Chain A
């Protein structure tokens, strides 16, 4: 049996906020296999954002071990962590987080720049990624010329252009209407079908319903971890 993609043991994260010590995570154990479709749920303050930050290598645990693809990433330097992020993780954010006044194509190309991919290769891969999210023909549009759903699809293209095995989606449908949400969830489910691991972070149970496994956090601890049959998103024709 191959090693799991993500293996977290005894993860704790404490912040100092003013004079108080905030325990955002109090000892989390979690194993995620490659190709999984998983939703992390919890109310605000449950620690799910901290969880996502640590899983996405944006943050580091105060205590515990985190093996990502067999490599311990809990004690890496900022620079090494950035490198791991670039290669292993693709982010999709609630607010899209595209660079303004920059075309869709350039936005998608950006992660490849930091991996030193040449201009021609970058262009080819970014075009393929945009095509994958049905945005062929929109590559020269800037974010303000695109609808919310289209912007989120650009962001997904940006997340998958690097062939990162893990896609982390933080409330990916939070700013979208329900029809567009379904489109976006359909694309994410498609990625799972291709063998990528998609981790959804959400507080909405109907979004979590699209995942095959739902983990619920409260007060920095996992209180529930259940498998389910995911709802199939109807992809708009």
Chain B
């Protein structure tokens, strides 16, 4: 019998039991859908973790004032000041693996305004070096150079989101924005970086650190009311740099061996790596669960095919009597199982695609449609059809025509 006729027969047989076919198919639909959604979700989560890691800048270390310990209650990182501006200069001079070092003073939830609009954002006070560490350039205008970054002019570089919120379609460049009542000239608009670990990377205003101290903080003091961002020259220098910074700061702060560090050094790369590892592990687990559900769907197919073979024993007998060879009967049932699984697989692709997109939207991940996984999943669906359809099909083909003809349903 030619394959086209076989497919037609299979479709008709499946169509006859619509509800049963649909229910059996659902197992495959959700199995395949789950595999695709989980793999897509896993890739999306990993990509977003990776993006976070990259948006922080590579080879970056963060040095903060340590938290206070007063009567056992931790006051949060930076609540006790210990790092001075002189410390920064000393670190730059004494730690050879430091490529760049920049202070970062942050005021979250700061109200800013243009002529027509206002917006609540994060204002950073830093130097020209910070842009190098973040590997961030201006899309329009300029970022700070040594002079402007080190000075106390009332100038600002704004992120894309801020520019849009305050000035809409028109250019923010050379416009005036007000921060805490003071006017600032916008000298640059940053290239868009999209979503980051703390939300929107582009929701930011950057002003010179001295200006920040004078206008938004307590003036030019001895201590850095924020953190230091350190960038190492090479990827693998984090460990040695941390050790060296620790030594220099302990020495400068005159800490003896019994005293704890009065500062903290964080390595975001390590954090990101750990997060990436755990994301990967969770994604793997979910994919395994999804694969199990696909397997269960396959068992459903086998179950129904076995029932179908028994129900249609008489039909098998009739077909054999009129000349169907065992291979014809086997092919018929196998093709039915394959069609069932393949159609289920195709629907599963749609379900998986939809679920992946929904998850990407919901969690703010980049949408990934794992085309290779989809192809594999579809192949697996076909494989499930063959794998779980084969046994019932063989049983059908091994029936004795005489017994089958006499079978009473």
A interface list, Cβ under 8 A from B: 53, 56, 58-59, 78-79, 82-83, 85-87, 91, 93, 97-99, 101, 110-111, 113-116, 119, 158, 162
Q: B2 to chain A: which residues have CB within 8 Å?
A: 116
Cα–Cα distance between A115 and B322 once the two chains are bound (Å): 10
Q: Are A114 and B319 neighbours in the complex by a CB distance under 8 Å?
A: yes
Q: A58 to chain B: which residues have CB within 8 Å?
A: 320-321, 401-402, 405
CB < 8 Å A-B pair total: 62
Contact of B320 among A82, A93, A101, A158 (CB under 8 A): A82
- Give B320's nearest chain A residue, CB to CB: A82
Q: Are A97 and B321 neighbours in the complex by a CB distance under 8 Å?
A: yes
Given the interface contacts A99-B315, A101-B16, A116-B2, does A82 sit within 8 Å of B405 by beta carbon? no
Q: B27 to nearest A CB, angstroms?
A: 25
Given the interface contacts A58-B321, A59-B402, does A82 sit within 8 Å of B1 by beta carbon? no
Beyond contacts A59-B402, A162-B322: 6 other A-B pairs, Cβ-Cβ < 8 A, are: A53-B402, A79-B326, A83-B323, A83-B325, A113-B5, A119-B5
Q: B405 to chain A: which residues have CB within 8 Å?
A: 58, 93, 97
Q: A165 to nearest B CB, angstroms?
A: 14
Q: Are A86 and B315 neighbours in the complex by a CB distance under 8 Å?
A: no
B318 CB-CB contact with A under 8 Å: yes
Q: B401 to chain A: which residues have CB within 8 Å?
A: 58
Q: B318 to chain A: which residues have CB within 8 Å?
A: 97-99, 110
Cα–Cα distance between A162 and B2 once the two chains are bound (Å): 17
B51 CB-CB contact with A under 8 Å: no
Q: B172 to nearest A CB, angstroms?
A: 71
Q: What are 28 A-B contacts defined by CB distance under 8 Å?
A: A53-B402, A56-B321, A58-B321, A78-B325, A79-B325, A82-B320, A82-B323, A82-B325, A83-B325, A85-B320, A86-B324, A91-B321, A93-B405, A97-B314, A97-B318, A99-B315, A99-B318, A110-B319, A113-B1, A113-B5, A114-B1, A114-B322, A114-B323, A114-B324, A114-B325, A116-B2, A119-B5, A162-B322
- Give A115's nearest chain B residue, CB to CB: B323
Q: Are A85 and B322 neighbours in the complex by a CB distance under 8 Å?
A: yes
Given the interface contacts A99-B318, A113-B5, A116-B2, does A78 sit within 8 Å of B326 by beta carbon? yes
Q: A97 to nearest B CB, angstroms?
A: 5
Q: Are A82 and B324 neighbours in the complex by a CB distance under 8 Å?
A: yes
Q: Are B322 and A110 neighbours in the complex by a CB distance under 8 Å?
A: yes
Q: B342 to nearest A CB, angstroms?
A: 22
Q: B319 to chain A: which residues have CB within 8 Å?
A: 110, 114
- Give A107's nearest chain B residue, CB to CB: B318
B261 CB-CB contact with A under 8 Å: no
Cα–Cα distance between A87 and B323 once the two chains are bound (Å): 8
Cα–Cα distance between A15 and B317 once the two chains are bound (Å): 20
